[in-house]
């Protein structure tokens, strides 16, 4: 066991349902063990700027069903600008933090992994609606996002059928199409397009024509925001990059919809779900998973097992090396995507 008197917790990257259940579980478990908890506001930025709030039982009361994060978030990368990483390390000493729990996706946990190599006592908690972090079967936030997307697809079915239209639904998924694939299967989409496989526009239009030839005068197409047309770059909203080198995606749905209408002659409409997938109250699955992750993260801190990330493997919560978890992208299982393809057209 490691002596820990004061613990810091932060949330970084895109928000998602389930963050507050994790914060609540960390705070409750730590306080029960006699460890004080400091909330670091707005991700790694809060450690650079000393933007800190104490967390107690009152702070986390009633936050279980709330979406977003009470700590705020940012896409700050302390290793991007000269001097910021050094200031962060100095502030850890100033605050007398014995350990940090970082809740985030590949970018936030990538920073945590670098800090761990520099001797910082850090534990990671995997968070992303994209479900693309390796070494864990699921990340919290994913289940809620899929259910939101599925419900939207269900609703698009009725209006598409009424107006005899093609409906294109653009969902999130920068590098991996987990949301598109799972929501597409659950929502009965006729075509699902993901970043793992280039978009074959000819094949998509032919599938839609075949449906019409069989008397189906509407179709539902689900496309992940990071999906790309063959031999073309990703469709983006702008070329300005964030601290981690990412451009803002979005627009592939509208581009696809215009091409489908032009090639098939069938009236096409586009719905971009965007941040709706991140907002609102977390599902029961995400509340429970977030709670389990938070408790396990504190247990790792108390045991002195740093440089690890908590993960779900089967139904067990395990600890895996941060470097391993943040170093590899988890793409859609080909077997799962093959199931979606069975229903194409």
Q: 243 in helix, strand or coil?
A: coil
Tokens of 187: 């929502």
Following DSSP, what letter does each residue of 35-65 receive, concatenated? -EEEEESSTHHHHHHT-EEEE-HHHHTT-TT
Cα 67 to Cα 82: distance, rounded to the nearest angstrom: 34
Identify whether 130 is a catalytic site residue. Answer: yes
d(CA 2, CA 16): 31
Q: How far apart are CA 127 and CA 105, in angstroms?
A: 5
In whole angstroms, give the CA distance from residue 1 to residue 305.
9
Helical H segments across the chain, by residue range: 19-32, 44-49, 57-60, 84-95, 106-117, 142-163, 178-187, 201-213, 252-264, 284-303, 322-326, 334-342
d(CA 149, CA 146): 5
DSSP character at residue 110: H
Alpha-carbon distance of 133 to 140, in angstroms, equals 11
338: its two tokens: 């093959």
**Cα separation, 15 vs 49, whole angstroms:** 20
First and final CA of the chain: distance in angstroms? 58
Catalytic, out of 15, 107, 130, 243: 130
DSSP 331: P
CA nearest 277: which of 195, 180, 154, 190? 180
DSSP string, 72-98: ------TTTSTTHHHHHHHHHHHHT-S
Mapped onto helix, strand or coil, the DSSP state of residue 133 is strand
How far apart are the C-alpha atoms of 131 and 18, rounded to whole Å?
A: 13
- Residues assigned a catalytic role: 130
């Amino acid at each position: 066991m490691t002596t820990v008197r004061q613990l810091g917790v932060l949330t970084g990257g895109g928000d998602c349902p389930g963050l507050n259940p994790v914060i609540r579980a960390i705070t409750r478990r730590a306080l029960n063990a006699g460890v004080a908890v400091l909330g670091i506001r707005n991700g790694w930025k809060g450690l650079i700027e000393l933007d800190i709030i104490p967390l107690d039982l009152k702070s986390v009361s009633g936050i279980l069903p709330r979406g977003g994060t009470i700590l705020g978030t940012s896409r700050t990368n302390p290793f991007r600008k000269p001097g910021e990483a050094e200031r962060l390390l100095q502030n850890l000493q100033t605050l007398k933090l014995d350990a940090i729990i970082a809740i985030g996706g590949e970018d936030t946990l990538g920073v945590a992994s670098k800090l761990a190599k520099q001797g910082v006592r850090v534990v990671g908690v995997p968070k992303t609606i994209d479900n693309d972090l390796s070494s864990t079967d699921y990340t919290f936030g994913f289940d809620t996002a899929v259910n939101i997307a599925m419900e939207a697809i269900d609703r698009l079915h009725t209006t598409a059928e009424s107006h005899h239209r093609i409906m294109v639904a653009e969902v999130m998924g920068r590098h991996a199409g987990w949301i598109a694939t799972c929501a597409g299967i659950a929502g009965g989409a006729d075509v699902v397009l993901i970043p793992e496989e280039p978009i074959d526009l000819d094949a998509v239009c032919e599938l839609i024509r075949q449906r019409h030839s069989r008397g189906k005068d509407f179709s539902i197409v689900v496309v992940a925001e990071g999906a790309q047309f063959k031999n073309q770059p990703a469709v983006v909203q702008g070329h300005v990059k964030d601290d981690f080198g990412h451009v803002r995606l979005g627009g592939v749905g509208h581009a696809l919809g215009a091409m489908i209408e032009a090639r098939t002659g069938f009236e096409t409409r586009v719905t971009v779900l965007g941040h709706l997938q991140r907002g609102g109250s977390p599902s029961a699955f995400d509340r429970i998973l977030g709670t389990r992750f938070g408790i396990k993260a504190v247990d790792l801190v108390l045991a002195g097992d740093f440089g690890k990330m908590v993960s779900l493997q089967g139904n067990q919560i395990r600890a895996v090396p941060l470097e391993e978890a943040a170093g590899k992208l988890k793409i859609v299982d080909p077997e799962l995507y093959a199931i979606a393809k069975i229903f194409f057209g």
